[in-house]
Amino acid sequence: MASADKLINTDVPEKDVFALHFLQSLSNLKTQNPLNSPAKSIDRVRKIKKAAYVSMARAAGGTSRLWSRALLRRAAKDDNKSVRFSRRKRKVTWKISSKRRKSNNQRAPVVEEAAERLRNLVPGGGGMETSKLMEETAHYIKCLSMQVKVMQCLVDGLSQK
């Protein structure tokens, strides 16, 4: 069922796509400003980190997920670029309405407390209703751990001299 959809919104994080994007950004970084300038070390780490997250968001299907969409938006904002997601303009419907908020409060306070903390950790989580938040979190975790694995692979590969 919904096989055509699955093709677009792959649920399994694309390891190869991430690796390719990430390496591409790394080599771009290297040509843009030589990495062996020690004064810019912190800046360099920040850029690599950002490249990793952006690559992850792209590998996760770009703007098809709320978290990847939020992450890319944040990254673009960081670049002082105007953000345009012309291809997939969807109306923002996951905002918490006052009615929904009330129903949420009927859930155990500990659960909502923990969910609130999650909202701060998942990109774009601030506006998500709890069930949507959990769905996005599950996908975000899968992608994050994939990202860590690939980065670790890279570090290991580069360390062997």
Partner 1 sequence: MSGRRSRSRQSSGTSRISEDQINDLIIKLQQLLPELRDSRRSDKVSAARVLQDTCNYIRNLHREVDDLSERLSELLANTDTAQAALIRSLLTQ
Question: What is the contact surface with partner 1 in residues (CB under 8 A)?
Answer: 2, 4-5, 9, 16, 19-20, 23, 26-27, 30, 35-36, 38, 41, 44-46, 48-49, 52-53, 64, 93, 97, 99-100, 103, 107-108, 110-111, 113-115, 117-118, 121-122, 129-131, 134-135, 137-138, 140-142, 144-145, 147-148, 151-155, 157-159
Closer CB to partner 1, residue 76 or residue 144?
144
Long-range Cβ pairs for the range 150-157 (8 Å, 24+):
150/15, 150/18, 150/19, 150/22, 151/22, 151/52, 153/19, 154/19, 154/22, 154/23
**Measured from the CB of residue 101, what is the shortest distance to partner 1 in angstroms?**
12
**Measured from the CB of residue 23, what is the shortest distance to partner 1 in angstroms?**
5
Question: Residues in the chain, how many?
Answer: 161
HSE, side-chain direction, 13 A CA sphere, residue 103: 7
**Measured from the CB of residue 82, what is the shortest distance to partner 1 in angstroms?**
25
| Closest by Cα among 72, 105, 64, 144 to 115 | 105
